[in-house]
Amino acid sequence: MSVSDPTPSPPGEYGIVDAQGVHPATRDELVAACREGPIPRLVWTPESGGPVPPEEVPFLLEAIRARIGGGAKTQAIIVGVFTAVLAFQNLDALRPGSPGAVYLLFGVIWVALRLREWRQASVMTPQGFRDLMREAEQSAAMRRVPVVYLRWLAGMIAAVGAAQLLANGAGMPAYGIGPAAMVPEYIRGGETWRLLTAGYLHGNLIHFAVNFMALLSLGRETEVLAHRAYLSLVFLAAVLGGSLASFAVPPDVPSVGSSGGLMGLIGFLGVLGYRRRETVPAGFLKMVLLNVAVIAGIGIVGMGLIDNAAHAGGLAVGALLGALFIPTTRGHPQWVTGRAVQAAGVAAMVVLALGCAWTLFLVLLPVL
C-beta of residue 281 within 8 angstroms of C-beta of residue 230: no
Report the residue count for the chain: 368
Q: Is the pLDDT of residue 200 over 90?
A: yes
CA distance 153 to 359: 14
Cβ count near 292 (within 10 Å): 15
CA distance 211 to 296: 15
Q: For residue 366, what pLDDT is reported?
A: 78
Interior angle at CA 308, CA 303 and CA 311, nearest 5: 150
Q: For residue 6, what pLDDT is reported?
A: 47
180-196, pLDDT tens digit by residue?
999 999 999 999 999 99
Q: For residue 174, what pLDDT is reported?
A: 55
pTM for the complete prediction?
0.85
Q: For residue 2, what pLDDT is reported?
A: 43
Cβ count near 312 (within 10 Å): 20
When pLDDT is cut at 50, 70 and 90, the band that residue 1 belongs to is very low
Q: For residue 136, what pLDDT is reported?
A: 83
CA distance 332 to 345: 21
Question: Whole-number mean pLDDT of the chain?
Answer: 88
In the chain, % of residues over pLDDT 70 = 93
206-229, pLDDT tens digit by residue?
889 989 999 999 999 999 999 999
Nearest CA among 356, 119, 114, 128 for reference residue 232: 356
Find the farthest-apart pair of alpha carbons in the chain and give their distance in angstroms, rounded.
Answer: 84
Characterize 226-259 residue by residue with b for buried, 16 or more Cβ atoms within 10 angstroms of its Cβ, and e for exposed. Answer: bbbbbbbbbbbbbbbbbbbbbbeeeeeebbbbbb
Nearest CA among 63, 96, 310 for reference residue 211: 310
Q: For residue 365, what pLDDT is reported?
A: 84
Cβ count near 330 (within 10 Å): 9
C-beta of residue 37 within 8 angstroms of C-beta of residue 52: no
Domain spans of the chain, in order of start: 14-56, 58-142, 145-364
C-beta of residue 261 within 8 angstroms of C-beta of residue 235: yes
70-120, pLDDT tens digit by residue?
888 899 999 889 888 877 776 666 677 677 777 788 888 889 989 999 999
CA distance 107 to 165: 26
Mean pLDDT of 222-244: 97
166-184, pLDDT tens digit by residue?
887 644 445 557 789 999 9
According to CATH, the superfamily of the domain at 145-364 is: Rhomboid-like (1.20.1540.10)
Mean pLDDT of 152-177: 79
**Neighbour order of strands in the sheet with 14-18:** 21-25, 14-18, 42-44
In the chain, % of residues over pLDDT 90 = 53
Cβ count near 326 (within 10 Å): 20
